[in-house]
């Protein structure tokens, strides 16, 4: 495993694993250097294939990749699996089923229950958060929300994520706590919004949320910072 890939620090059961790649440890070059795992961001497809093969060494099985559309659809592993599965979250109820999302500023959110019988991961950019992707993921896990815990992976931080009034209007319930004024624009705290959305869904034990993809160019991809760039993976599974 690359020395700077992340293992979630959260109070999950021992059989639940979360791995978050960074931009380091792969073979891609240029704007995508080096561990790009996204197939549709301009990188050489052969490099992406080789990077995904490198990732497999750390996993119990091939991940289920999603065709992410900044929506709220939640798929179930393995019943919904397929090469072009359109969803922004994935849940699993059996060991060895690896759920994955790709990000480069959007927020990845991992969830599991306290006994290690179900896991999920969600891709939560501002559109998904506003639309309810976290509530939909909690619902899909089909257990009391108080039995769930969450982990917030690396995303663009609150000092870097400047947005307009249109985005601010999408979060009327979270505005006071998640926005700070910057002239005629706003700084949005995705981590704060996610915690508020999870709390509203009944999930109050949430870890992570202290990194900024925009501010660490040597470690993380950032679409807002670079435009052409790679994608990192957040993966969650239960040990076989």
Residue 178 belongs to a domain: no
Residue 161 belongs to a domain: no
pLDDT of residue 81: 64
| Structure confidence by residue, pLDDT tens digits, 40-52 | 999 999 999 999 9
Residue 76 belongs to a domain: yes
HEC sequence for the chain: CCCCCEECCCCCCCCEEEEECCCCCCCCCHHHCCCCCCCCCCCCHHHHHHHHHHHHCCCCCCCECCECCCCCCEEEECCCCCCCCECCEEEECCCCCCEEEEECCCEEEEEEECCCCCEEEEEECHHHHHHCHHHHHHHHCCCCHHHEEEEECCECCCCCCEECHHHHHCCCCCHHHHEEEECCEEEECHHHHHHHHHHHHCCCEEEECCCECCCCCCCCCCHHHHCCCCCEEEEEEECC
Residue 193 belongs to a domain: no
CATH number, domain of 92, equals 3.60.140.10
pLDDT of residue 82: 65
Average pLDDT over residues 137-144: 98
| Structure confidence by residue, pLDDT tens digits, 169-185 | 999 999 999 999 999 99
Residue 22 belongs to a domain: yes
Ranges 69-73, 82-86, 94-98, 210-214: which has the least confidence: 82-86
pLDDT of residue 22: 98
**Percent of the chain beyond pLDDT 90?**
95
Could you list the residue range(s) of the whole structural domain that residue 147 is in? 6-156+205-238
Residue 185 belongs to a domain: no
Residue 163 belongs to a domain: no
- Provide the number of structural domains found in the chain: 1
């Amino acid at each position: 495993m690359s020395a700077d890939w992340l293992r979630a620090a959260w109070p999950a059961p021992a059989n639940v694993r979360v791995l978050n790649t960074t931009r380091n440890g792969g073979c891609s070059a240029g704007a995508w250097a080096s561990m790009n795992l996204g197939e549709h961001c301009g990188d050489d497809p052969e490099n992406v294939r080789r990077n995904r093969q490198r990732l497999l060494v750390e996993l119990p099985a091939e991940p289920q990749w999603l065709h992410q559309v900044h929506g709220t659809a939640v798929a179930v592993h393995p019943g919904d699996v397929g090469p072009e599965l359109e969803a922004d979250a994935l849940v699993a109820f059996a060991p060895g089923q690896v759920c994955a999302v790709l990000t480069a500023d959007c927020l990845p959110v991992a969830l599991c229950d306290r006994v290690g019988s179900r896991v999920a991961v969600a891709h939560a950019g501002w559109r998904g958060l506003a639309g309810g992707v976290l509530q939909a993921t909690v619902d899909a896990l089909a257990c009391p929300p108080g039995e769930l815990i969450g982990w917030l992976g690396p995303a663009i931080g609150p000092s870097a994520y400047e947005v307009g009034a249109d985005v601010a209007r999408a979060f009327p319930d979270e505005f006071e706590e998640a926005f700070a004024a910057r002239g005629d624009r706003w700084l949005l705290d995705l981590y704060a919004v996610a915690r508020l959305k999870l709390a509203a869904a009944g999930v109050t034990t949430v870890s992570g949320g202290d990194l900024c993809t925009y501010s660490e160019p040597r470690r993380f991809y950032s679409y807002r910072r670079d435009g052409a760039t790679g994608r990192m993976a957040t993966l969650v599974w239960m040990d076989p």
